[in-house]
Amino acid sequence: MMKNNFASIHSRKENGTDSARSLLTEGVTASVWTPDYVLRLRQNIHLCGCSGCDGASPLLQFRWNNHVRHSADISCNRAAAEILSLTASCTLSVSEDLAEHLPELSAERLQMNQHCLRLFAAFRTEPVLLLYALYGFIRQSGPLDPERRAALLETWLQPAGRQRLVQDFCLQQDEHGFPPVAGQRLEALPIWLLVDSDARLHKLKAMRKKGEETLRQTWRGLQKASRARRKILGNFLFYELCHNFFPGHLVPDWENNFADLCRRALSLLLLLTAVSPELDKESLSALFAASHRAARREAFS
């Protein structure tokens, strides 16, 4: 089914097994995917005592019979710092482990997540274009069977396919802008929960009341933003794809999951307009972690 190996994946096994192929093989072993931010967090795990982790490990594991996914809780300051790090490679290490008696992760779900990660590898330097590619891909893939989805992805990753995608994206940008902002309820973003209590975010106050055109400009601004800002947003998209197994389990949910992804990315984007990542990396990741904690408190209150 898969023709190419993951561009950004390398296998930790030394025996040269085809990692992309083994990812989709069902058998007695489980494929273990470990993003680079997890590897860095493991190196000095006890260094944080923020109110997100309280000194406990922010590392997480999602386990199935045939798959283990390592990740971390982004509401911990240190986890957020590693996830958003300007030097993050945004790669996955793939290894194998013995299967446990657990439910199985569906091969289709894993395959779609893998396809989206390959789109990430192809368009990672341009986050808005990446979102456009993800959106187009999940819309077209929904009704297709797994083999056609794989074939569609291969077409998109060919030079001609990429070129067509960029052209379509530019047309779309001129007409309506991308991503679609109609569903991105500006007032519901978690970042607002911090605006009144943190002086660094006061300049965002005025934006809260602005309408869709401001939102469109915010997304457009990202394309001209510094490399550091685009890198940080790209890192976050990598985290989202890994952590939430984007686009998710049920096809009818995919577009909603995409809209949620855009909302969370927009929250980070607004933060990037208030806090300069070049000057204050620590503040940026700590504030982003704090916005996730605030959103969680809000959800449970």
Q: At its nearest, how many Å lie between Zn ion and the CB of residue 102?
A: 28
Q: At its nearest, how many Å lie between Zn ion and the CB of residue 293?
A: 10
Question: Between 76 and 233, whose beta carbon lies closer to Zn ion?
Answer: 76
Burial of 173 (0-12, 13-18, 19+ CB in 10 A): middle
Q: At its nearest, how many Å lie between Zn ion and the CB of residue 75?
A: 8
Binding segment toward Zn ion, per CB under 5 A, in 13-21, 22-30, 72-80, 96-104: 72-80
The Cα-based distances of 23 to 64, 94, 101 in angstroms read 13, 8, 18
Radius of gyration in angstroms for the set of CA atoms belonging to the chain, rounded to a whole number: 19
**Contact residue for Zn ion among 20, 32, 41, 48 (CB under 5 A):** 48
Question: Between 52 and 179, whose beta carbon lies closer to Zn ion?
Answer: 52
Binding segment toward Zn ion, per CB under 5 A, in 36-44, 76-84, 148-156, 180-188: 76-84
Question: Between 11 and 77, whose beta carbon lies closer to Zn ion?
Answer: 77
Q: Angle, nearest 10°, between helix axes 227-243 and 254-274?
A: 150
**Contact residue for Zn ion among 20, 23, 50, 72 (CB under 5 A):** 50
Q: What contacts 120, CB < 8 A, 6 or more positions away?
A: 8, 90, 130, 234, 237, 238, 241
3-state secondary structure of 279: coil
Q: Which amino acid is at 103?
A: P
Binding segment toward Zn ion, per CB under 5 A, in 44-52, 157-165, 200-208, 234-242: 44-52
Question: Applying CB under 5 A, does 84 fall inside the site for Zn ion?
Answer: no
Instruction: Compute how many residues bind Zn ion; rule: CB under 5 A.
Output: 7
Across 48-87, b (16+ Cβ under 10 Å) vs e yields bebebbeeeebbeeebbebbbbbbbbbbbbbbbbbbbbee
**Contact residue for Zn ion among 76, 133, 284, 295 (CB under 5 A):** 76
Question: Between 90 and 290, whose beta carbon lies closer to Zn ion?
Answer: 290
Q: At its nearest, how many Å lie between Zn ion and the CB of residue 236?
A: 17
Binding segment toward Zn ion, per CB under 5 A, in 41-49, 63-71, 198-206, 244-252: 41-49
Q: At its nearest, how many Å lie between Zn ion and the CB of residue 76?
A: 3
* Distance of alpha carbon 191 from alpha carbon 36, whole angstroms: 26
Binding segment toward Zn ion, per CB under 5 A, in 11-19, 33-41, 47-55, 235-243: 47-55
**Contact residue for Zn ion among 35, 52, 177, 179 (CB under 5 A):** 52
Question: Between 15 and 44, whose beta carbon lies closer to Zn ion?
Answer: 44
Instruction: Give yes or no for a contact between 222 and 127, defined as CB atoms under 8 angstroms apart.
Output: yes
Q: At its nearest, how many Å lie between Zn ion and the CB of residue 71?
A: 15
Instruction: Give yes or no for a contact between 53 and 73, defined as CB atoms under 8 angstroms apart.
Output: yes
Query: Which helix (H) or strand (E) covers residue 122, if one does?
Result: helix 107-123
The Cα-based distances of 177 to 134, 165, 171, 180, 216 in angstroms read 16, 15, 9, 7, 6
Q: What contacts 53, CB < 8 A, 6 or more positions away?
A: 73, 76, 77, 78, 79
Which residues contact Zn ion (rule: CB under 5 A)?
Answer: 48, 50, 52-53, 76-78
